[in-house]
A = this chain, B = another copy of it.
Amino acid sequence: MSASESQIFIVDDDDAIRDALGWLFRSRGHAVRTWPSAEALLDSGEIAHCGCLVLDIRMDGMSGLELFGWLREHSHTLPVIFLTGHGDVPMAVDAIKQGAFDFVEKPFNDNELVDRALAALAMHRQQVSKRAALQAIEERVAQLTQREIEVMERVLAGQMNKVIASDLGVTMRTVEVHRARIFEKMGVRSAVELAQVLATRK
């Protein structure tokens, strides 16, 4: 659902700030959910429905940075906006370099924060569709047999069927059959298209 991925998640152990942020976004018509701690969010199993994470750095238990690191390690790539009470340049630099979407100091400007969150949501939507496309390609590749992959590699290397044949110690006909199957499974109609599709990844 587009809606479920458009949700803004807020994690802050300060009730006042959490409520204020929730109100801020809701008042502007944006779906938002709040959590009192990183653990609460993770335990809920709702992380997959998050499109933008607004995260307090300093929290009891798992800190914002720790949650960020955990998400990265578990391939949950989603834009994170850090909130921090005390300006710490090295921490901010590190967070951004590690891929955080933004790093905002309190007190923050309401409009700016909302803008950043919306930009993050937009980026996330892009990432999701891009990932879906890559995922689709990988699934197709996964359908290929080992032999077909060997043939495909050589096709992509520009080798002619007869070269591939002698290379693999089989006849040209066999290569042709594999080739046809590869095209079929990969949903393309020529080696050129295949190259285009596979060039998308990597």
Contact = CB atoms under 8 A, between A and B. Distances in A.
A27 B188 CA distance: 59
Contact of A89 (B88, B190, B192, B199): B88
A155 B191 CA distance: 11
A194 B199 CA distance: 12
Interface residues of A, number: 26
A189 B158 contact: yes
Contact of A96 (B93, B158, B192, B196): B93
Contact of A191 (B105, B191, B199, B200): B191
A193 interface: yes
B90 A193 contact: no
A195 interface: yes
A103 interface: yes
- Number of copies of chain A assembled together: 2
- Which of A97, A158, A189 lies at the interface centre, i.e. has the most chain B CB atoms within 10 A of its CB? A158
Contacts of A188: 158
Contact of A190 (B96, B103, B158, B196): B158
A87 interface: yes
Interface in A65-110: 84, 87-90, 92-93, 96-97, 102-103, 105
A20 interface: no
Contacts of A199: 195-196, 199-200
Shortest Cβ-Cβ A-B pairs, 3 listed: A199-B199, A195-B195, A87-B89
Interface of A: 84, 87-90, 92-93, 96-97, 102-103, 105, 155-156, 158, 188-196, 199-200
13 contacts: A87-B87, A89-B89, A89-B105, A90-B105, A93-B93, A93-B102, A96-B96, A96-B97, A155-B192, A192-B194, A192-B195, A195-B195, A195-B196
